[in-house]
Each structure stands twice: as C-alpha cells, then as structure tokens.
Amino acid sequence: MLEYEIIIENIVITGTFSEPIDLNTATTQLENSKRNWKRFPGLIYKQKTPPATFLLFRTGKFVCTGTKTQTRGHTAITTFLEQLKTKNLVSNNCTTTWEIKNLVATINIGGVSIALEEFINQFESALYEQEKFPAAVYKMEKTKATFLVFLTGKLICAGIANEETLKQTIKTFYDQLVEKNIIEKNLTP
C-alpha cells in the first residue's frame, strides 16, 4: 500500500477581544499594520514573533492566519493581546476567546500521479478545467472538506477545523482514490 504525508500549512482562527479597539489609534501604535478603509473595514497587522497575520476589526473581532499548530496560534493571539495592552489599546482586564475555523493541509503521495480524467469520471461532482487551473476541485460529500487534486500526486485539503477529523477525512478520501484506481505508480524513480 502507498503511503502519504500530511503537512498542516495554515490554521485560520477567529476570535474576539472582550473590548472594542480604536483602529485609528492602533494603526499609529502597531508597527507593521496597514489599513485602507475604502477596500477593507479592518486593520491588517503582521506580527513578527511568533509570525502571524491578524485582521482586526473595531468591535474586537479578529482573524488570525499564518500559524501551523494550535499551540502557535494560541501563542500568537496571547502575544498580540499583551501587545494591545502594552500600547494601551485595550485595558489590562481585556480577555479573548477564539476557535479554529479551518485547517489547510497538503498531502504528498510519493512516487505517484493522479489520473485526473479518470478522477473526474469517477467523482462526478469534481470540477476540472485544465486551461484555467492545474488541479481538479472536489467537495467531499457529507463533510466540509474541499480537495485540490493535482496530477503530480499532491493534494490540498481545506475546510476542516479539527486535526483528527482532518486526518480521518484525508484517509477516507485516499482510500476512495485507491479503491477506484485513480492513483498510478510512477515507473521512473
């Protein structure tokens, strides 16, 4: 049986600080922050350590991206909250709540290719327009998972918020690919 490797590339976390934030003041206080009110109603802040990008809204709601583990996400949010407190953008009593909304993972199936024409025939809801994009797009039934399926044997999975569910969903999809003979072994090393 072939083996595959799962690598979590990004975690998307949404949350709320318990206090609203004056984004005009925050823009001047936070280095590496940007805003363009005409295009986006929030502030974009790139944190260096630990690396993460925040979309921050005046209500205190935020989106955090760019971390690869839940622990790093928690550390990034905690560090950001401390920075907001230090810059007097929120009080020392400010707290936060957050949850993981999406995991983006790459799956490498070594030494194989995917028969994309056969894939779209076997998986009827798959979309593949090779002139526009080099991968087939497949929304897995009964899950929130969306897969990008590349000829090279690489897959990308998004839409799952829990790591164990992600692993099980990938295994189920991989088993379907094997069962339907979609995976082809490469003859060259």
CATH number at residue 77: 3.30.310.10
How far apart CA 178 and CA 122 sit, in angstroms, is 12
Q: How far is CA 162 from CA 31, 50, 85, 87, in A?
A: 32, 22, 30, 34
Domain count, the chain: 2
Tell me the pLDDT tens digit for each residue of 64-106: 999 999 999 999 999 999 999 999 999 999 999 999 999 999 9
Which among 94, 126, 142 is the end of a domain?
Answer: 94
Q: Which domain holds residue 50?
A: 19-94
Q: Are residues 180 and 108 in the same domain?
A: yes
Q: Are residues 175 and 122 in the same domain?
A: yes
Tell me the pLDDT tens digit for each residue of 19-57: 999 999 999 999 999 998 889 999 999 999 999 999 999
